[in-house]
Amino acid sequence: MNPVQQLKDQLSQFSASLLDTGPSQAAGSTLSRLVALAGMDVRDGQAADELGFFSKKYDISGKLFASYDAQGRKNGEARLGEAGLQLFAGLLYLRVLNAIDQNTSGIDRAKYVNVCWKIFGTVELPDFLDGARDTMAQLQNDLFDGLPDPDLNDKARQPNSVRDIPAVDWDEFRTLPVDVLFYEGPIARAYLEVLYSLRCKPRKIVHLIAANDIVTKKKVGSLLPSFLRSKYAAAVQSRKIHHWPQFLRRSQKGLIDAVFARLGEALNIDQGTLSGACDLKPLDHYCDDVVPLPITSLKDAGLSDYIKAQGARTYLFTGGGIVPQSLFDIPGVQYLHIHPGYLPDIRGADCLLWSTLLAGRPSATCFFMNAGIDTGDVINAAFLPDVTLPSAAADLDQKMVYRLVYGFVDPWVRAVVLRDTLTATGFLENLSSVPQKMEDGTTFHFMHDTLSADVIARRLIAV
């Protein structure tokens, strides 16, 4: 029997066994909707949309709730039970097999494989899915053989300018028409070092200091006087955010030096600029006007009040969470962001890895943020030259090599596109943009460890 048809029959039998388990099967519940899907063709139409809805929910949060309302919001806190998750795992696996059978694009198959790994890693699979993990491993191997995606790869192979360093014809530092919303981390540090290397300074740095501990969420320095509390909170925030990059720099100095050498060669970055981002220099080294602003989150009224008081401004956003609607509603304010993916094609999370897998090389985009996920108007999108890690990176465990990628590669993928944007916009004096078409792109979510480890090993680490 055809494997797809066999799995359909098994799903129908399994779902039938769930029909007599009580009120959780009420019409409109998540389980009743999944049971209905087990009897439908999930390849297209309404059934495909229905499965896509649950897949997205799980892909983002790693959980499904017992029911959702007509707007897709959860009805209460009750979770879908184990049997329902097992049925859901079977449906996601069926979607992967259907995608292979129908020769669906590598982009869609990669998304399907990723979320399937996520459910396989959190639920005890039913007997009829025995052996599915081994099959998935083989399907993932086949997926790599068919990538990069031809259309994305064609775009990636076009000439790019990110190796070009803007010409600097001024002796004193030039003040750019932008304020930096500085949230401590490797990304923000890379941005400041790139600006400094070009003898540029932002108009102002707004130092977003986490008033609550980023791990425990407890208020930091509550017993200290206010004039000391901000400095102490900033020091705690910096120490915790930079813990792993600093650990790697100390414990793997030879490897990090080799990474810097490769980044410098591939992206034309001075070694002093690369290492300078790790030195955690005082912010007044980069700007003459630094405003410390303690906040509990980006929703903090203190932040919105501050931005309102400044009037019409352009801000470079460097991180700290999801920007709330309240900040977008402030008149005359716009936020620049560097996303590590080529927009509109590659939106979402872990896009350094998604770009490397699907397009064959990294990419990044400078754009104006809006309330959507990487859906704002595009200022400058670019694919980058190949960036690879030294073979010694393979000696690190999986978590540590992931930290290496996001502590030392991802920030510079973003930073060189910021540098390229300075050239393209007359050092931000002539910002123009192009709206995205929502239907032209794909939104990705965090990669499962099984897939990300393969991407890093096969695509990023030099053989």
The pLDDT tens digits for 72-115 are 999 999 999 999 999 999 999 999 999 999 999 999 999 999 99
pTM for this predicted structure = 0.95
CA 175/CA 428 separation, integer angstroms: 10
pLDDT at 22: 52
pLDDT in tens, the chain (463 residues): 588 899 999 999 999 888 765 544 666 899 999 999 998 888 878 999 999 999 999 999 999 999 999 999 999 999 999 999 999 999 999 999 999 999 999 999 999 999 999 999 999 999 999 999 999 999 999 999 999 999 999 999 887 889 999 989 999 999 999 999 999 999 999 999 999 999 999 999 999 999 999 999 999 988 888 879 999 999 999 999 999 999 999 999 999 999 999 999 999 999 999 999 999 999 999 999 999 999 999 999 999 999 999 999 999 999 999 999 999 999 999 999 999 999 999 999 999 999 999 999 999 999 999 999 999 999 999 999 999 999 999 999 999 999 999 999 999 999 999 999 999 999 999 999 999 988 889 999 999 999 999 999 999 997 6
Give phi and psi for 398, each to the nearest 5.
Answer: -60, -45
Strand partners, 176: 202
For the chain, list the domains and their CATH numbers: 3-146 (no CATH), 174-460 (3.40.50.170)
Output the six-digit token pair for 167. Answer: 């010409």
The pLDDT tens digits for 241-270 are 999 999 999 999 999 999 999 999 999 999
pLDDT at 225: 86
pLDDT at 20: 61
Mind giving me the DSSP string for 372-440? SSS-SPEEEEEE-----B-GGGGGS-HHHHHHHIIIIIHHHHHHHHHHHHHHHTTTTTS---BPPPGGG
CA 177/CA 315 separation, integer angstroms: 9
Output the six-digit token pair for 386. Answer: 């190949």
CA 278/CA 301 separation, integer angstroms: 32
CA 385/CA 135 separation, integer angstroms: 34
